[in-house]
Amino acid sequence: MRKYLLVIIVLLSVTSMGIAQCRLSIEAPDSLAYLLTINDRRVNDYPIVSVTFNITTFGKTNLKVDFPNRQALSFTQIITLKKGSNAVYSIERSKGALKLVLSSESLLTIEETATASEEIVDILADSAANPIKHNGCENLADEQLYQDMIVVVDGQHFESKKLSVMSEFASTHCIRTDHLRYMLSKLSQEDNKIALLAVAKEHIYDRDNLPEVSNDFFLARNKAKAIEIISSDR
């Protein structure tokens, strides 16, 4: 499975200065996509295998790691974040169970801290300006049904079969843009991504966010084709 990297800047608590106190990265094997909750606040809404974010708190921090595809492996762990640190944790198996293991730790530079503060402000502003709203298909697909489909996709060895499974789901269910982007990340060939986008286009719950999908294409001709598909009949 191609590693799907999602970098998120998250504001977990607010200080008077609004300056990030530390940076945390969590990485997992490709087969262990996870949902992360920190101090009872959900970080991501769909499974990822790598995340990096800045937070304005430090000290003891409660992390809950959920594996939608393998619930029995989910776990909760308390870690201690040092003020001004850049900590990288990996999800590893220890004594028969998964846990967060500190891989590296360094000091945040003044430049990184200042940049983090600006990024937090920008992300919050974007979220407020572009909330997920319903302006597309009806009856959003059940999340568990979607996760079950992803499990089937991950079990396929050939990309053509992955495309077939996801195309069938996208053509018969109403999905969000973030659902589609995660599905696209399962494909390595951009022609196949174009094919999936074409099938899914009329079955998107938040159509205003669909243009974001063009960012998932590298080649200029494919990006242009994606924009054409997204823009047609809008």
* Residue 142: how many other CB atoms lie within 10 Å: 10
**Helix 143-154 and helix 177-184, axial crossing angle in degrees, nearest 10:** 10
**Dihedral pair phi/psi, residue 15, rounded to 5°:** -105, 170
pTM of the model: 0.48
pLDDT at 173 over 70: yes
Q: Which tokens in the block code for residue 71?
A: 């619930």
Band the pLDDT of 133: cuts 50, 70, 90.
low
**Dihedral pair phi/psi, residue 216, rounded to 5°:** -90, 5
pLDDT at 147: 87
pLDDT at 207 over 90: no
Band the pLDDT of 144: cuts 50, 70, 90.
confident
| Rounded (5°) CA angle 124-129-133 | 115
pLDDT at 71: 82
| Rounded (5°) CA angle 178-179-182 | 85
Q: What is the CA radius of gyration of the chain?
A: 19
pLDDT at 126 over 50: no
pLDDT at 114 over 60: no
Using alpha carbons, list the distances in angstroms from residue 62 to 76, 102, 110, 206, 222: 7, 15, 26, 32, 42
